Amino acid sequence: MKNPQGNSEGKKFASIEAARQIQDGMVAGMGTGSTIVFLIEELARRMREEGLKFVAVPTSFQSRILCLDLGIAVRDMQDTASLDLAIDGADEVDGALNLIKGGGASHTREKIVAAMAKEFVIAVDESKLVDRLGSTFAIPIEVLPSARSYVERAVRDLGGDPVLRIGVRKDGPVVTDNGELIFDVRFAPTVDLRAVDEAMHHIPGIIETGLFFDMAGKVLVGCGGPGNLSLKTLRRGHRED
């Protein structure tokens, strides 16, 4: 679930910088969530004022509808095999630029789009930076409804504590754009999450996890507050202010 402590000004600042990464003629993946709302709005402004022309490949109905409402051309994921660039937010980012995503229940599509892209760029505020993945967020996993009970038992056998995500302002569980369920899973701080991620990918019924290892090439971090905003750029292997 989303972090209510996030800095919206920092996210917006990072999103505006991320929008500058998109150039004329690109086909670009658009993630999901509040950070990407800022991104799409800034791209629409660039189209109006700068004449930018590009095609967006959205990862959710939410992002697709916003793009269409703002006049941005879209292409379906199923008709796309590669992207010039993909931009998304994240729920957590560690020092090696590994991520937890899925607070918006779109991580399966987001991971496919990230894999398609020549470059995968993340925009966040500084509250999303952590020393260890799982520090503030549980790990989302997307699960076939018919496998719910089996997956819950199998994840517990791996040492996880899975909780079915329940909808807000609706009865029953959250249902993804793919028609599946979400478990939010917590593991002990001592657990090797890479090993757990690999093991979960071998559990029938788990479609995808919200652990993104070795995928982000660059993370744009909005720091500070109103009147005192700055940008920090993190790249794999080194840091650039």
CA distance 241 to 230: 9
- Residues contacting residue 145 through CB under 8 Å, at least 6 positions apart: 179, 180, 181
Percent helix, percent strand, percent coil in the chain, to nearest 5: 30, 25, 40
Q: Is 110 a catalytic residue?
A: yes
- Note whether 34 and 5 are within 8 A (CB): no
CA distance 51 to 202: 47
Q: Is the dihedral of CA 91, 92, 97, 102 positive or negative?
A: negative
Per annotation, catalytic residue among 42, 110, 142, 152 = 110
Q: Is 95 helix (H, G, I), strand (E, B) or coil?
A: coil
Q: Residue 11: which H helix or E strand, with range? A: helix 8-19
Query: Looking at the annotation, which residues are catalytic?
Result: 110
